[in-house]
Structure 1
Amino acid sequence: MAFEKLTNNLKGLTDNGQKYAKVTAEYYKLSLFKNGMRGLVSAANLALRATFGLLALLFLSIGLAIIIGDALDSASKGYFIVGGIYIVIFLLVFLFAGKPLERMLLTKYSKMAFSDDSFKETPSAGASMPIKNKIDESI
């Protein structure tokens, strides 16, 4: 009789272990999907903003170059001056913005990825309870 109880307990433990593995796999699939979609939406949003921002910058740059060119009585001088301004800005960003930009992005996306409410309760907490309850009931 004790051998039967032990066999039933081991069988129940094996079944619950398999259920736990399935639930955990499904949980991580859903979590991966959610984070992937969050990244995709974020990238699409960034691409849309960047496109319209660059279009606005292009037209503002052309307008500024025309204004400078009219003031200097040479359109090409206006375009060269605006181009030179962009080269100086590029060099400043290239030289000084690497580490602060990396730090800012890591901080922002770490908070977004790791402070999610769905990670506070993992399936291991909920899935281990039926195994323990089943073992306690059989004893």
Structure 2
Amino acid sequence: MAFEELKESTQKVQEETKAYVESTVQYYKLWGFQFIMKSTRTIVKLLLIGFFLLIALLFGSIAASMAIGDALDNMALGFLIVAGGYFLLVLLILFLRLKFVEKYLLRTFSKLFFND
């Protein structure tokens, strides 16, 4: 009698443990899917915004180069001045090493990863 109760109790514990493990696996699958979707959404959004900002910067640079070229009566000089401005910007970025961008990315992705 006691052996049968012990056997039933052991089987019940095994079934509940199996159900717990299955539900835990399902939870982590859903959590992984949610994390991947949030990351993908963020990356796609940033790529789209970056693409349109790049197009706007391109047309703005061409317009500024042409305006400077008209003002100086030398179109090539206008384009060289704008290119030199971008070169100085790249040097500034290299020297500052953009610590604030690294901090922003770390803060954003840590919220994304640890917030749920």
Give the TM-score category using the shorter length: over 0.9
1:34 counterpart letter in structure 2: Q
Deviation at 1:109, TM superposition (A): 1.6
Q: Matched residues, percent identical?
A: 38
Structure-1 separation of matches of 2:98 and 2:8: 61
For 1:87, the equivalent position in structure 2 comes to 87
Match for 2:35: what amino acid? N
State TM-score, norm by structure 1.
0.78
Q: C-alpha distance in 1, partners of 2:4/2:92? A: 77
Identify unmatched segments of 5+ residues in structure 1: 117-139
2:70 is aligned with 1:64: no
Deviation sequence 1:82-125 (CA, Å, 0-9, x none): 00111111121122143321111111221122122xxxxxxxxx
The 1-side partners of 2:26 and 2:104 are apart by 33
Query: Structure 2 CA distance, aligned partners of 1:52 and 1:79?
Result: 22
Q: Give the whole-Å Cα distance in 1 for the aligned partners of 2:58 and 2:91.
A: 19
2:47 paired with 1:47:
yes
Map 1:1-139; keep pairs closer than 5 Å: 1-116=1-116
Q: Which has the higher contact order (CA 8 A, sep 6+)?
A: 1
Give me the CA root mean square deviation. 1.2
Deviates more, 1:80-89 or 1:95-104: 95-104
Once the two structures are overlaid, the 10-residue window that deviates more, 72-81 or 101-110, is 101-110
In the comparison of the two structures, how many residue pairs are matched? 116
